[in-house]
Amino acid sequence: MTITQLNYVLAVAEHLNFTVAAEKCFVTQPTLSMQIQKLEEELEIRIFDRNKKPIQLTEVGKKIVEQAKSIVNEADRIKDIVEQQKGFIGGDFKIGIIPTIMPTLLPMFLKNFIRKYPKINLIVEEHTTDEIISRLQKGQLDAAIAATPLNENDLKEIVLYYEPFVGYFPSEFRNGLTELSPNDLNVNDILLLQDGHCFTNGILNICKASKLDQSQNFELTSGSFETLIGLANEGLGVTLLPYLHTLNLSEKDKKNIIEFADPKPSREVSLIFPKNELKIHIVDALRQTISGVVKGAIAFQNIAIISPKLNR
């Protein structure tokens, strides 16, 4: 039994296709199949049921895959220990970022990070919070940046910053408001991001609403803040934005911003990674870089953390 064989098993278990798994492992399909077959012969069991389309794990195969994940992770941990001892910070590092954070945060730290750590090949992917949790647990991501707390037992969270929600209220909706409180909000008047965004859950939690009023004859959700701002400017409603997104607004649009009174409803943004702490030296490098650039942009003290998970 070898680590290589276990990696091949994990690839097939993920993709349920020998050809695709071989491509992901950068080997030929016959090579991958032969190595898995050797492992099965050594163990005298079948890991995969090849008679099903797509192929499926056998019952014992499911248990083997779970153990293989632990073994491969521990083997990678040995490599990490050696690299840290040598002072080497490099290699592939795959990070997921949620869509409501990616456009504003990534440009703030990416250039500094790749200049400071040129040997790290940072692979950035955009995913929803649910996708991030799943991919971290499956070992498909090394780390992620998302709104927290997530309260996942097998994941660790390091807080990077706290980001207030702010109101975007064009003049026809302001009604003399100079600052907001949750009582000023009617969730059915707010233009929201589409389902699947934890930012929408945060807004619903601020409004103490578990769902939209389905009796409304006008309901609109969008996938981007730019669309919501454009619709608000057309008089179709109001919306809430994360504070960092407002920094790049035009001077005209900035006039539509209304901040919340203290304590300001805010989201907690954290660096998330598996508890096995693989590549922890790169996680720490990311934390230091991001904290350094964000510290100057956000300096709010009196805040109230809003959960990214919808309160029921």
Q: What is the pLDDT of residue 278?
A: 77
Q: What is the pLDDT of residue 251?
A: 93
pLDDT at 113 over 90: yes
Residue span of the structural domain in which 135 resides: 89-160+268-301
Radius of gyration of the chain (CA): 23
What are phi and psi for residue 184, nearest 5 degrees?
-80, -5
Residue 312 covered by a domain? no
The DSSP-derived string for 49-111 is: ETTSSS-EE-HHHHHHHHHHHHHHHHHHHHHHHHHHHHT---EEEEEEE-TTTHHHHHHHHHH
Report d(CA 68, CA 5) in Å as an integer: 10
Residue 277 covered by a domain? yes
Report d(CA 219, CA 143) in Å as an integer: 35
Residue 137 covered by a domain? yes
- Confidence tier at 204 by pLDDT (50, 70, 90): confident
Residue 301: count of CB within 10 angstroms of its CB:
8
pLDDT digits (tens, 9 = 90+) for 209-264: 544 454 444 455 556 888 889 888 988 888 889 999 998 899 999 999 999 998 88
Percent with pLDDT over 70 in the chain: 92
Q: What is the pLDDT of residue 311?
A: 67
pLDDT digits (tens, 9 = 90+) for 42-71: 999 999 999 888 899 999 999 999 899 888
Taking the CA atoms of 29, 35, 39 and 45 in sequence, report the sign of the dihedral they define.
positive
287 in the same domain as 257? no
260 in the same domain as 171? yes
pLDDT at 301 over 80: no
171 in the same domain as 155? no
32 in the same domain as 172? no
Residue 276 covered by a domain? yes
Among 34, 56, 84, where does a domain finish?
84
236 in the same domain as 99? no
* Arithmetic mean of pLDDT, 109-131: 92
pLDDT at 200 over 80: no
**What CATH number should be reported for the domain holding residue 78?**
1.10.10.10
Beta-carbon contacts of 250 under 8 Å, excluding residues fewer than 6 positions away, are: none
Residue 258's H or E segment, with its range, is strand 257-259
Beta-carbon contacts of 115 under 8 Å, excluding residues fewer than 6 positions away, are: none
Residue 309 covered by a domain? no
123 in the same domain as 44? no
Domains identified in the chain, total number: 3
Among 22, 54, 84, where does a domain finish?
84
71 in the same domain as 19? yes
148 in the same domain as 275? yes
Model-level pTM? 0.76
Residue 281 covered by a domain? yes
11 in the same domain as 133? no
168 in the same domain as 156? no
**What CATH number should be reported for the domain holding residue 103?**
3.40.190.10
Q: Kindly report the average pLDDT of the chain as a whole number.
A: 86
Among 64, 84, 104, where does a domain finish?
84
Q: What is the pLDDT of residue 216?
A: 46
CB 160 within 8 A of CB 95: no
CA distances from 133 to 87, 120, 136, 146, 150 (A): 30, 23, 5, 10, 9
CA 63, distance to chain mean position in Å, is 28
Residue 146 covered by a domain? yes
288 in the same domain as 201? no
44-48, 174-178, 179-183, 307-311: least confident range: 307-311
98 in the same domain as 125? yes
pLDDT at 116 over 90: yes
Residue 120 covered by a domain? yes
* More confident call, 280 vs 32: 32
pLDDT digits (tens, 9 = 90+) for 256-289: 999 999 888 888 999 999 987 778 889 999 999 9
Closest CA relative to residue 93, chosen from 52, 124, 70: 124
